């Protein structure tokens, strides 16, 4: 009874939407362009375009990261090709990097986008040049927009910058490749990263860590506010019992149930042209039969019932006893050092300050200007203005940044207003990360238990360096940025503060009324809404 068989589900089984999405106009424009080009899209593919291109009230992408997990052959790349075409036409000068693990996969994506463009004279007339060859493929438009296609390597992605990044075959993305790509994103003004892939098999995909971490984040109790995750996967199989034979039969029934197929294959049975569906019930039946000796692999590939790495299940905090160092009314004395950190996605600034207490500890706090209670959405000029306010109020012994971080983008602006920042090298960052950890272990730190800083301390992990030392690992969403900013401030105070004997306490909101031009600090628990 093929006509009565369930069709692929439009709604993803695992779905984390972005709360700040209010403007869906750009997605509708993208779909209009695609239909003008003669593209055929299923409802679920249109939903991906609409939600992925949604914007906030300020015009930024609501989702900084978009994760799309769908079983193979369902047409997951059709959505991103529509998005890419709209980016190029609607945003003159935009630079896009489309990467894949296999060269053939990248080339096929390029061919489909080229086909969309060539399908209509008005679109075809927009093309400036197309290059195919030598592993450096691109499509450039007359308006200055371009998309490049590359495979992911350790070093083959350097030498240019991008505004949008597409990671196809996201279940295979090594840390070395991630490191090679990260510098390309430092100048993006409205960055968005799309990840496309199928379920991970940890026994086959040794580099599925990033893919797994995105999924974990989307399914966590507090998912990132700027992550859109859409996953079509089978519901959980029947739980095991004490009856082994019954378990085998129940698992077989779950595996062969067309409703299970429909949950994991959104294109199942939906015709894209008369008499043809991307995935048919007959195809799955035949495929299941051919995998009868490799059923677990079939469940991963067709049902997206992944074998995910267990390393993402839990994280043991590196710093124990953080809560024991809480001091909500510190007696502060001596010079101040300031640390600055811009998250890799360039969406969140964090400002930290360090100063000694009268009992010999080092007190650290993070804060932001009143206009941005969590540091998100600040422009570089606004960040510089806030640093100027801190410098005028405190005359810090050092304003410190990591020279190899995105924060370095404001160095010329700081110098232009008379502030010469200390630019920490990688060896210095390693020494300061170790020093921060040593002081924490010895109980020599002090803090007011600010939620953002405490969360960062609880989740940060080490990145081991070849010399045997380490630095803190940056997360793209900036969740560990408060930890790094505090480490910079702490390191700056240790390195430059001992030469200064003048006492200069942090301004206290409890002792005087602060003015709009002066950063304030308070002994209250939640300092994030008022800055320092």
**Which residue has tokens 């505090």?**
486
Q: Which residue among 303, 332, 347 closes a domain?
A: 303
Q: What is the CATH number of the domain that holds 442?
A: 3.30.420.240
Residue 74 resides in a domain: yes
Residue 4 lies in a domain: no
Domain of 114, CATH number, reads 3.40.50.300
Could you give the CA distance from residue 11 to residue 266 in angstroms, rounded to a whole number? 8
What phi and psi values does residue 400 have, to the nearest 5 degrees? Answer: -115, 140
pTM of the model: 0.63
The answer to whether 83 touches 194, Cβ cutoff 8 Å, is yes
In a domain? residue 9: no
Residues 293, 372: one domain? no
| pLDDT value at residue 315 | 58
The 3-state DSSP class for residue 283 equals helix
Q: Are residues 328 and 236 both part of a single domain?
A: no
pLDDT value at residue 225 = 86
How many CB atoms are located within 10 Å of the residue 296 CB? 12
Same domain for 91 and 160, yes or no, is: yes
**Of 60, 63, 42, which Cα lies nearest the Cα of 51?**
63
pLDDT for the residue 523: 32
> What is d(CA 265, CA 9) in angstroms, rounded to the nearest whole number?
7
Judge if 286 and 375 occupy the same domain.
no
* Domain membership flag for residue 506: no
**Does residue 528 lie within any of the structural domains?**
no
Let me know if residue 512 belongs to a domain.
no
Q: What is the C-alpha to C-alpha distance for residues 451 and 326, in angstroms, rounded to an integer?
A: 12
Say if residue 286 is in the same domain as residue 420.
Answer: no
Same domain, 212 and 265: yes
Which tokens in the block code for residue 32? 């209009």
- Identify whether residues 291 and 331 lie together within a single domain: no
SS3 state of residue 76: helix
Structural tokens at position 258? 């067309």
- What is the chain's pLDDT, residue by residue, as a tens digit (532 residues)? 345 789 999 999 999 999 889 999 999 999 999 999 999 999 999 999 999 999 999 999 999 999 999 999 999 999 999 999 999 999 999 999 999 988 888 889 999 999 999 999 999 999 999 998 877 789 999 999 999 998 886 555 556 789 999 999 999 988 778 877 877 887 888 899 999 999 998 878 878 888 998 999 899 888 888 999 999 999 999 988 888 889 889 999 999 999 999 999 999 999 999 999 999 999 999 999 999 888 989 999 999 999 887 644 445 688 888 999 999 899 999 999 999 999 877 778 999 999 999 999 999 999 887 777 667 778 899 999 999 999 999 999 999 999 988 899 999 999 999 999 999 998 999 999 999 999 999 999 999 999 889 988 988 888 877 667 889 988 766 788 999 999 999 999 999 987 544 444 433 322 222 323 334 443 322 323 334 4
Which range of residues forms the domain containing residue 245?
Answer: 14-303
CB 113 within 8 A of CB 138: no
Q: From the DSSP assignment, how many helices (H) and strands (E) are in the chain?
A: 16, 19
Dihedral of the CA atoms 255, 257, 258, 259 (nearest 10)?
-100
Q: Which residues contact 442 (CB under 8 A, 6 or more apart)?
A: none
The burial of 143, by beta-carbon neighbours within 10 Å (0-12 exposed, 13-18 middle, 19 or more buried), is given as: middle
How many structural domains comprise the chain? 2
Name the strand (E) or helix (H) holding 398.
strand 398-402
Q: Are residues 327 and 292 in the same domain?
A: no
Q: Are residues 247 and 339 in the same domain?
A: no
Residues 280, 345, single domain; the answer is no
Domain assignment present for residue 8? The answer is no
Tell me: do 250 and 350 sit in the same domain: no
Q: Is 366 helix (H, G, I), strand (E, B) or coil?
A: strand
**Residue 431 contacts residue 467 (beta carbons within 8 Å):** no
Same domain, 346 and 228: no
In the listed set 268, 303, 338, which residue is the last one of a domain according to the structure?
Answer: 303
List, in sequence order, every residue forming a beta bridge with 268; answer none if it has no partner: 279
- Residue 426 included in any domain: yes
Q: What is the 3-state secondary structure (H, E, C) of 175-229?
A: HHHHHHHHHHHCCCCCCEEEEEECCCECCCCCCCHHHHHHHHHHCCCCCCCCEEE
Tell me, what's the pLDDT at 512? 28
Select from 254, 271, 303 the last residue of a domain.
303
Residue 347: which of 489, 224, 503, 177 has the closest Cα?
Answer: 224
């Amino acid at each position: 009874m093929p006509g009565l068989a369930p069709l692929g589900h439009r709604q993803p089984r695992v779905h984390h939407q972005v709360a700040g999405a209010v403007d869906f106009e750009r997605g509708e424009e993208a779909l209009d362009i695609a239909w003008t080009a003669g593209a055929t899209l299923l409802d679920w593919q249109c939903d991906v375009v609409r939600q992925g291109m949604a914007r906030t009230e300020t015009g930024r992408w609501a989702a900084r990261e978009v994760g799309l997990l769908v079983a193979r052959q369902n047409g997951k790349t059709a959505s991103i090709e529509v998005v890419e075409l709209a980016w190029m036409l609607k945003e003159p000068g935009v630079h896009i990097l489309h990467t894949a693990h296999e060269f053939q996969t990248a080339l096929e994506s390029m061919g489909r986008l080229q086909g969309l463009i060539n399908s209509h004279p008005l679109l075809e007339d927009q093309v400036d040049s197309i290059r195919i060859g030598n592993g450096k493929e691109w499509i450039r438009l007359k308006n200055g927009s371009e998309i490049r296609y590359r495979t992911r390597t350790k070093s083959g992605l350097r030498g240019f910058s991008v505004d949008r990044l597409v990671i196809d075959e996201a279940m295979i993305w090594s840390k070395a490749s991630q490191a090679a790509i990260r510098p390309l994103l430092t100048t993006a003004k409205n960055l968005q990263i799309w990840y496309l892939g199928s379920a991970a098999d940890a026994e086959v995909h040794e580099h599925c860590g990033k893919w797994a971490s995105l999924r974990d984040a989307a399914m966590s109790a507090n998912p990132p506010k700027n992550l859109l995750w859409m996953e079509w996967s089978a519901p959980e199989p029947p739980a095991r019992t004490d009856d082994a034979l019954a378990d085998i039969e129940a698992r077989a029934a779950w595996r062969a149930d067309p409703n299970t197929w429909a949950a994991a294959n959104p294109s199942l049975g939906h015709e894209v042209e008369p008499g043809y569906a991307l995935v048919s019930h007959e195809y799955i039946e035949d495929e299941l039969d051919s995998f009868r000796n490799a059923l677990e692999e079939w469940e991963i590939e067709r049902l997206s019932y992944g074998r995910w790495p267990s390393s993402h299940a839990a994280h043991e905090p590196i710093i124990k006893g953080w809560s024991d160092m809480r001091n909500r009314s510190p007696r502060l004395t001596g010079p101040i050092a300031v640390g600055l950190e811009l998250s890799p996605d360039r969406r969140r600034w964090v400002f930290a300050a360090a100063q000694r207490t009268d009992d010999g500890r080092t007190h650290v706090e993070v804060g932001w200007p009143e206009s941005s209670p969590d540091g998100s959405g600040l422009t570089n000029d606004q960040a510089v203005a806030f640093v100027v306010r801190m410098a005028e109020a405190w005359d810090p012994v050092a304003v410190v940044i990591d020279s190899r971080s995105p924060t370095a983008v404001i160095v010329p602006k700081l110098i232009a207003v008379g502030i010469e920042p200390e630019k920490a090298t990688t060896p210095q960052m390693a020494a300061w990360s170790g020093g921060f950890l040593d002081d924490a272990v010895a109980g020599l730190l002090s803090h007011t238990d600010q939620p953002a800083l405490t969360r960062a301390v609880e989740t940060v992990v080490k990145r081991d360096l070849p010399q045997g030392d380490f630095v803190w690992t940056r997360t793209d969403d900036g969740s560990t940025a408060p930890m790094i900013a505090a480490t910079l401030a702490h390191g700056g105070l240790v390195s430059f503060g001992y030469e200064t004997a003048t006492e200069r306490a942090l301004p206290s909101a409890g002792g005087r009324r602060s003015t709009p031009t002066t950063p304030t600090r308070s002994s209250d628990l939640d300092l994030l809404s008022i800055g320092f």
